[in-house]
Structure 1
């Protein structure tokens, strides 16, 4: 074990993930396991709520403030640009329903996006908004295609930083620069990249970003972050309004509809403290490891997956270039991916199927030995299927 840790300094963090003792978990693009420190924070809050309740409220709110700062560090924003939301769909819907659309406006999105980044926009057709779909070019998105779809009535481009199916990673910097030049709002679904590759909303000129915590952030389902660039908050009409939307939120006897002027206006009611504290512990772990170190390890594991897949004659559907992928590698071959996935799970290996292919998505605590074990198991299944 000591020799292994000398080779891979991140291997010590495997102790944070008890799931590694029983399973090979390679589905962080789906629902990730939580760490021991997330469990510890959850149990602490439950104990406090059980034994102290509102006596701890001030402490809890201070913790929320600190976690907001950590989440801002993760994407290089200001804390007041961050709102806690239920999930990615929640954040994207804030944008979709908050913009004052005019009949004849249009927005641009990728034709093969995850449904969370399609349905909120389809719902705008009732307002006379046109949807313009970017075609898939062998699993890639060409920014030139996005540029061609833009005109004077284009209000917004919405895109996933990494595509859920084949793992294609778009150049956010180039796309952000295009949107800036054309005075088009830029919205990013970051759920398949946040926690595994660096994110800088200022550098990429992102206006809105949404991401749930249950994938690469290694937090439980049900809590995420929504980023709204400073200066745009008051241009979004909050689709949900509640007692926390206003400045004087604790003055219950006074009705004064004076909305907050930062992203906190989108936190309309009582917060999911359990989820936020868990998210905070998960973000702490990632910041401790370092996102650059996480990216390096995950890309190395991706290199190994691609190498082993090609050596066995499987088709790799994910771009091989490191700057065009993050944590997802998609592969297919002369096998039924659903049957293989189900049988791998029986063997204690968790992968998934998307786009008719096997999707493998390791995180920083996974090992080369686990990748090799996965391929030996896959090879055995394919041979006898």
Structure 2
């Protein structure tokens, strides 16, 4: 299927230049229809009935299996959540902390994750420190920057696979290996907000302990549905914190009998189940165009075009000095008028966003972005720069 045909399913792209996939992707029509049909199916069966209960169980398992195949892990290792933050919180609060433990974060983590780690430090007497990953964007070794700061008491390292602010892809497998060589007991939590649906993944091979992701960004699924991968070896040491009927075993007298044997133990209770079909359809939409590797290659090809054309605007400073390795392209204006640029572009139906650290503008391209869109965006940025000299 060519890109023009493919894009017909994405009505959100009609008559606009969309470059905010790192915030939320557009929902394919087939996914929207699947969600509506699922809601209708529930009503036809009877909203609370044996029929709906059996259907929900099948939907949950089918979705775990589709996700697991995409990231190359057993379906039993997938917990279905609402979003990345929920997945990270399951891991963060399920670890048995004690006073004197240490958390190491990169200096490029999202404020939501930083806040959760800080609260753990406050409640349990856990120390926090950061490692300078941001400065390795163009030179330096992020693996060394992280591994060299692992301490004997480091219980958890928190990183992002694909940095949300600069678009840098961290060598995840090498980081895991080097961290464990420093301290075999240290676990690794990955914020995968930007990597799932964007990078080709093999989490089993990479060896991370916890990998939290969402379906609504690069997978272009519905907001409110994501997941957490828990490495099987980490399962027994991670305690459920949010607890409900979906995660527990019960006896014939409805008394709790312990946790489910796999990662379902971290799921809680009633969710918006029709979203499950929507996410599966969104993933199928991408698979119909090409493999994960083919999609990633196209993303890199298009982001290189955007990066190159931005370099032709004198008032623009690109954060990367070499072509991007992801679909995120961040840049700064000599004038510093980033918020004004975003507002001006949106008035022309061109959607980008600002980032606070580092202070910049971020534009995202997907594999179905058209070169004409990129040219239109850069032309509008150049025009804005000329007006604000």
TM-score class normalised by the smaller sequence: over 0.9
Q: Secondary structure at the match of 1:329?
A: strand
Aligned to 1:130: 127
Displacement after TM superposition at 1:112 (Å): 2.9
Q: Any stretches of 5+ residues in structure 1 without a counterpart?
A: none
Map residues 135-146 of structure 1 onto 2, 5 A cutoff. Answer: 135-138=132-135, 140=137, 142-146=142-146
- How much has 1:274 moved relative to structure 2? 2.3
Contact 2:192 2:212 in 1 (8 A): yes
> How many residues in Structure 1 have an aligned counterpart in Structure 2?
374
Note if 1:96 corresponds to 2:116. no
Structure 2 counterpart SS, 1:320 = coil
For the Cα contact (< 8 Å) 2:308–2:323, is it kept in 1? Answer: no
Please give the alpha-carbon distance, in whole angstroms, between the structure 1 residues aligned to 2:302 and 2:158: 29
CA contact (8 A) 1:223 1:276 kept: yes
Residue number in structure 1 paired with 2:214: 212
Deviations 1:197-238 (A, max 9, x none): 111111211110001222111112211011101132221111
Cross-structure match for 1:263 = 263
- 1:139 to partner: Cα distance: 5.7
Superposed displacement of residue 319, structure 1 = 5.5
1:372 is the counterpart of 2:375: yes
- Alignment partners' CA distance in 2, 1:11 and 1:252: 56
Task: Say if 2:323 is the partner of 1:326.
Answer: no
**Cα pair 1:64 1:277 within 8 Å, conserved:** no
Shift of 1:252: 6.5
Structure-1 separation of matches of 2:261 and 2:43: 35
Q: How does 1:277-296 map to 2 (within 5 A)?
A: 277-289=277-289, 290-296=291-297
On the 8 A contact 1:139/1:166 being kept in 2, the answer is no
Measured against aligned partners, the alpha-carbon deviations of 1:117-155 in whole angstroms (never above 9, x if no partner) come to: 212211111201111211244363722122221121111
Q: Partner of 2:355 in structure 1?
A: 354
- Against the structure 1 CA distance between its residues 162 and 133, is the aligned structure 2 distance closer, same or farther, given a 3 Å change threshold? same
**Quick one: distance in 1 between partners of 2:294 and 2:242?**
38
Q: 2: distance between equivalents of 1:154 and 1:263?
A: 24
Q: 1:191 to 1:353 in 2, by over 3 A?
A: same
Residue matched to 1:62? 58
Which shows bigger deviation, 232-241 or 136-145? Answer: 136-145
Q: Please say which of residues 231-240 and 74-83 is displaced more in the overlay.
A: 231-240
> Is it true that 1:75 corresponds to 2:77 in the alignment?
no
CA distance in 2, matches of 1:127, 1:312: 50
SS in 1 for 2:117: helix
Distance 1:252 1:331, change over 3 A: farther
Looking at structure 2, the residues matched to 207 and 12 of structure 1 have their Cα atoms a distance apart, in angstroms, of 39
Shift of 1:321: 4.6
Q: Please list, as runs of the form range in 1=range in 2, the aligned pairs for 1:112-191 lying within 5 A after superposition.
A: 112-125=108-121, 126-138=123-135, 140=137, 142-181=142-181, 182-183=183-184, 184-191=186-193
Asked if the contact 2:106–2:159 (Cα under 8 Å) also holds between the matched residues in 1, the reply is: yes
Q: Among 226, 230, 233, which residue is 2:228 paired with?
A: 226
Cα contact 1:318–1:328 (8 A) shared by 2: no
| C-alpha contact 1:234 1:261 (8 A) present in aligned 2 | no
Please give the alpha-carbon distance, in whole angstroms, between the structure 2 residues aligned to 1:271 and 1:46. Answer: 12
3-state SS of paired residue (1:275): helix
Moved over 6 A (4+): none
Gaps of 5+ in 2: none
Superposition CA RMSD, Å: 1.8
Report the counterpart of residue 307 of structure 1 in structure 2.
308
| Distance in 2 of aligned mates of 1:137 and 1:57 | 47
What is the CA deviation profile of residues 50-108 of structure 1, one whole-angstrom value per residue up to 9, with x for unaligned ones?
Answer: 32233344233212211110100111110010011111111111111111112111121
